[in-house]
Structure 1
Amino acid sequence: MRFVLGVVVAVGLLGCGGPEEQGVDAVESIGQEIVGGVEARPGAHPWNVSLQQYGSHFCGASLIRVSATKEESDIVVTAAHCVYDGTARLTASAGVHDLNRPGAGAQTVNGVKTVYHPAYNPRTTMNDIAVVKLEKPLKFSATVQPILLPLPGEVVPDNVEATVAGWGLTRENGQPSSVLLQVGVPTIGHEDLRAMYSKAGIAIDRYAMLGAGYRTGGKDACQGDSGGPLFLPGAQGKPVLQGIVSFGIGCARAGMPGVYTRVSNYIPWINTQVRLLSDTARQ
């Protein structure tokens, strides 16, 4: 899902972290869209996780590292609105490109506990972030890798290209994609984002939210991409999780870019949840 206030909404996703590989690789000459995007190269985004209930994808998530020494993790980060209404029979699938044909590199584990931010407000979507504790850790491999987290309070520059990817709808009111799609979208300054959403009566918080998209529309994430990562290259050139797909109005509409949870604002909270929940981190 992707969330919208009072309207059907949509937002995007993608991630970082594996062997120093493909970054934003895409399969060329494929016309499929996240909305206005392309099919990701299989294995290019090994941090991307599909959250499922009863075997059906409903949101994205990002695998993060919880131990400096162990090549596995039992924590994924997603949007609070993805897990706010309960998560019966929740599973997390990593290392998947095509949801209909997971492949030998896929790993699927049960989620045993979800924790959303205590100040999450479903009406305003403030603090739209959550973690899922997995029943057993996902083992790092060529197709399963964690994404890097930003520094606390790290500022994302305006007008730089970020990447979002997921298995969501390929157009507003359209159909979901079984294969992982990606799209590049430029980051948008706070004042511009605030002005665009104020016309719809939606408040944008400078510290909790990050905007990315084109003023003319055409490229965006959509429903089903929620909770997935928005990433930019970090100082060492490796992708860093800067945003979590949160909300928007429609999908890829002009003047309504996607709004993402600003991850750098929540690093202390994420670290606290890892200490409290992760068996891998404590071992």
Structure 2
Amino acid sequence: MHLKDKYADRYKLSLGSSVLLINAILVTVEAASITNDVKPDVAVRSNPGIKEPPVVASGPNLCGYSNLGDLDSIRDRVQEKEHADFLEYPWMIALLRRSLNTSAWSHSGYLGGGTLIHPRVVLTAAHKVHGLKAEDMKCRAGEWDTLNTDEIYGHQEQNVAKIVRHPDFYYDSILNSVALLFLAAPFRQAPNVGLACLGPQLPPAGTVCYSSGWGKQKLGAKDSEIGGMLKKVELPLLSRSECQARLRKTRLSNYFTLHESLMCAGGEEGKDTCAGDGGSPLVCHIGDPSHQRFALYGMVAYGIGCGEDGVPGVYVDAPHFHTWVQEKMREEGLSTESFMFIE
């Protein structure tokens, strides 16, 4: 059996399974139109003989499932713990300049990371799209190794039709840095393209979470090192008091106050997000970790260096904007059930 056919069999829904690989359920959903005068720019690298897949599954309690499988030939390539496995984070989005009119990767055209929370909505940090217009951007889903153009499941691209930034976003201090990117057309269902849940409130301090992105491995690395295989890092959440206390020991000074729109994770030497990871997701397990289901709780905001001992990374507090996200999506006529979950 061809590897792709063998793997596709894993995505048939089993009602007796407690772990539903739900991101690949063959469900078609109708996506509301955002604009009538924007033509979708769809780039799906796939076998032309394969029937066009339906829109990404979207509905109550369908989000957040990692699609880890038994692709031994691919998983064997991921030897380093700092790299994500293929299909591990199917909601991961690369924000790109639309001027990059080719499927080839270019670090100069890469803007940052984002999270797919609806077939046509990407949640990201507002400072990553500061000064940009919708017509400047596109989003790529299903990417893993940017240096490999022959992955089993190809990536997809959609143009951005509308950018909605939080009204209280302050660029200079990266406060309330949240933005919604409404796409010209929905992403299509695939094992490597799925939705993340959005957590309504932060888990307790000490909870182990994970961030992923294509940023630099260390501070000072060349810009050309942005990209490659998707990286991941395991990070514990910090309480607000602990976060602020640690950051006051840095160049931020003893007068630093952590804004309510921000939170912290990490602090262990050598384990951190870095330049190029801005806007990328910080996800934590929902329920039993063996179920490989996750919700979004943070987005990479900034850091003092990368991976310095005792210095945590700063993230946008995603649950803080849960209500705002719902309001803005409803204004566009879109359902918010796509990122809701029941533990």
Q: What TM-score comes out, normalization by structure 1 length?
A: 0.80
Q: Percent identity, aligned pairs only?
A: 26
Q: Summarize the alignment of residues 76-155 of structure 1 with structure 2, pairs less than 5 Å apart.
A: 76-87=122-133, 88-102=135-149, 103=151, 104-151=153-200, 154-155=201-202
Over 3 Å counting, the alpha-carbon distance change for 1:224 and 1:27 in structure 2 is farther
Question: 1:30, CA displacement in angstroms?
Answer: 4.7
Is it true that 1:232 corresponds to 2:284 in the alignment?
yes
Is it true that 1:204 corresponds to 2:204 in the alignment?
no
1:68 corresponds in structure 2 to none
Question: 1:187, CA displacement in angstroms?
Answer: 0.9
2:37 corresponds in structure 1 to none
Q: Is the 8 A contact 2:329 2:335 kept in 1?
A: no
Is it true that 1:64 corresponds to 2:110 in the alignment?
no
Q: Is the 8 A contact 1:109 1:136 kept in 2?
A: yes
Question: 1:19, CA displacement in angstroms?
Answer: 4.6
Task: Pick from 45, 51, 57 the counterpart of residue 89 of structure 2.
Answer: 45
Determine the C-alpha separation between the residues in 1 that align with 2:206 and 2:126.
27
1:243 corresponds in structure 2 to 298
Question: 1:278, CA displacement in angstroms?
Answer: 5.5
Question: 1:17, CA displacement in angstroms?
Answer: 4.2
| Per-residue CA distance 1:28-76 (angstroms, 9 max, x = gap) | 68566xxxx52211111100000011332220000003xxxxxxx1100
1:188 corresponds in structure 2 to 238
**Unaligned 5+ residue runs, structure 1?**
1-15, 66-72
Task: Pick from 245, 256, 259 the counterpart of residue 314 of structure 2.
Answer: 259
Determine the C-alpha separation between the residues in 1 that align with 2:203 and 2:175.
19
Q: Is the 8 A contact 1:18 1:144 kept in 2?
A: no
RMSD: 2.5
User: Whose strand proportion is higher, 1 or 2?
Assistant: 1
For residue 97 of structure 1, what is the amino acid of its counterpart? W
Task: Pick from 67, 73, 76 the counterpart of residue 21 of structure 1.
Answer: 67
Q: Is the 8 A contact 1:190 1:211 kept in 2?
A: yes
For residue 274 of structure 1, what is the amino acid of its counterpart? M
Residue 187 of structure 2 aligns to a residue in which SS? strand
Over 3 Å counting, the alpha-carbon distance change for 1:111 and 1:280 in structure 2 is farther
Determine the C-alpha separation between the residues in 1 that align with 2:147 and 2:124.
22
| Per-residue CA distance 1:191-250 (angstroms, 9 max, x = gap) | 111112223134212x32121112x42110111111111000113652010101111112
For residue 182 of structure 1, what is the amino acid of its counterpart? K
Q: Is the 8 A contact 1:84 1:116 kept in 2?
A: no
Is it true that 1:220 corresponds to 2:272 in the alignment?
yes
Over 3 Å counting, the alpha-carbon distance change for 1:31 and 1:176 in structure 2 is farther
Is it true that 1:178 corresponds to 2:228 in the alignment?
yes
| Per-residue CA distance 1:263-282 (angstroms, 9 max, x = gap) | 1111111011212235687x
2:22 corresponds in structure 1 to none
For residue 312 of structure 2, what is the amino acid of its counterpart? P
Determine the C-alpha separation between the residues in 2 that align with 1:191 and 1:137.
41
Determine the C-alpha separation between the residues in 2 that align with 1:20 and 1:185.
18
Residue 274 of structure 1 aligns to a residue in which SS? helix
Determine the C-alpha separation between the residues in 2 that align with 1:279 and 1:156.
27
Q: Is the 8 A contact 1:27 1:40 kept in 2?
A: no
1:5 corresponds in structure 2 to none
Over 3 Å counting, the alpha-carbon distance change for 1:27 and 1:249 in structure 2 is farther
Q: What TM-score comes out, normalization by structure 2 length?
A: 0.67
Over 3 Å counting, the alpha-carbon distance change for 1:278 and 1:122 in structure 2 is same
Over 3 Å counting, the alpha-carbon distance change for 1:30 and 1:146 in structure 2 is closer
| Per-residue CA distance 1:86-117 (angstroms, 9 max, x = gap) | 14531100011122335443110111211111
